[in-house]
Every structure is written in C-alpha cells, then in structure tokens.
Amino acid sequence: MTREDYIKSLIKSHGYNLKEFSTQIQMPYTTLLSILNGSIGGAAVDNMLKICYALHIKIEDLDQLETDAGMVTKNQDDEADIDAYLLKLIRDLSTEKRIALKILLTNM
C-alpha cells in the first residue's frame, strides 16, 4: 500500500470523502487531490502536518510505511516472510485499529 493509499483509507475510515476532509482541514480540495495522487513526497510540510494531525498519525508513520512497503516487495515470493511481516504490522496496530480490523474482517 502506498502512502497515498494509506491516507485515503484513513480518510474513509474517519467517515469523510476527500471533499469533506479538505474542508475539515481547511485545505483546497485540488491541493489534497494533488497530494493524494502521488506527490506526498513533494507536498509542503504544513499541508502534510494538517493531514496527519487530522488523522491522528505522525509524519514518521508515513515514512515507515514507505520503508515497510519496500520490505514487502522484496519478500513477496516468500510467503513465510509475508505472514511474519503481516503479523508484525497487526501487533503494532493501536488497540482501536486492531478492533477496527477485526470488525472489517468479520464482516467480509
């Protein structure tokens, strides 16, 4: 999952669509779209701070997500490594996110 996809999924999980979220954080909708269409790396720090603050995440989490995504790509042929990686991700989730994941998987 890319950083952009991660942010989009968090926005949805908070009950917003992109237009509503941009209004909530007082950011032009077009700016938010630009950021989420592949340019997080080039986004102004102030804009990323607004997004992260509203979603209750740290900017460092996005950097770690990019690093972790690279690990999955390198190990995708080895199912045991992927399973261990997924288990680590689940263990690292906050209690709230772990409950949300259980609900999501139960309703599939």
Condensed to tens digits (0 to 9), the pLDDT of residues 17-28 reads 999 999 999 999
Q: Of 30 and 91, which is predicted with more confidence? A: 30
Q: 51 or 87: which carries more pLDDT confidence?
A: 51
Here the tokens at position 35 are 């950021």
Residue 101: pLDDT band (50, 70, 90) is confident
How confident is the model at residue 73, as a pLDDT? Answer: 45
What are the tens digits of pLDDT across the range 37-86?
877 777 888 988 999 999 988 888 777 766 555 444 444 455 556 677 77
Query: What pLDDT is attached to residue 72?
Result: 44
